Amino acid sequence: MEYLKNKVALVTGAGSGIGKAIAELYAQLGAKVVVSDINEAHGEEVVTQIKANGGDAVFIKADVSDAAACEALIAGAVKQYGSLDIAVNNAGIGGEANLAGDMSINGWDKVIAVNLSSVFYCMKYELQQMLKQGRGAIVNMASILGQVGFATASGYVAAKHGVVGLTQNAAIEYAAKGIRINAVGPAFINTPLLDNMDAATKQMLVSLHPIGRLGEANEVAELVAWLSSDKASFVTGSYYPVDGGYLAR
């Protein structure tokens, strides 16, 4: 069922993992998809796959930690398809793993820039376009670590808590203007971000999820697609975990 038919959707960090799964699902549901990533080869590969499956997509390279690049990205999406109905601010990095007192200034600045400031930058320009249209849906990719802590991940945890707060605040501001804004909080998901982990570390992560396994990118994408659609027309300012019971422990 193509319940996003003819919608224009932008997904950042769409070259791999969760972002890729979201972009591909959007296309399957009938949306025209703007695939954005800092990795051009990965992004173009996603576009090629979407087109091979009969979908409509275009790639726009962007470093979302740069405000000017975010402005150009949204302008490029509108130039390509004429509007912007859906935006998923998904791009992110794990960042430096260290105790709070030992974390480098550069490490802190980078993870905040990519995981939090980028969401503000993108939203700033997405909202401007959606206000012109009188409608829109934004989904910001937070994390379970937008609700709880995790040792050696101070920068990431702070950024993801910030994403949740920013989402809630903006949702209040724009609810009466036809724009819905929500956040999704995945637990540990089988994505390339975990590829460098040894088996013991990965098994430790599995043990933190009562469901007994890590999540899959498509499981996150299904929730994001629902939040992006008219099926979720009364949902805004909310945080939705996709976590296999992680936060219920």
CA distance 247 to 7: 33
Q: Which residues contact 20 (CB under 8 A, 6 or more apart)?
A: 14, 42, 46, 217
Q: Is 156 a catalytic residue?
A: yes
* Residue closest to 144 by CA, chosen among 164, 116, 167: 164
State how beta strands 32-37 and 239-242 pair.
unpaired
Residue showing tokens 């805004």: 236
Maximum Cα interatomic distance, the chain, rounded to a whole number of Å: 51
SS3 of residue 202 by DSSP: helix
Q: Which amino acid is at 50?
A: I
Which pair of tokens denotes residue 167? 């989402």
Active-site pick, 156, 174, 240, 246: 156
Q: Catalytic positions, please?
A: 156
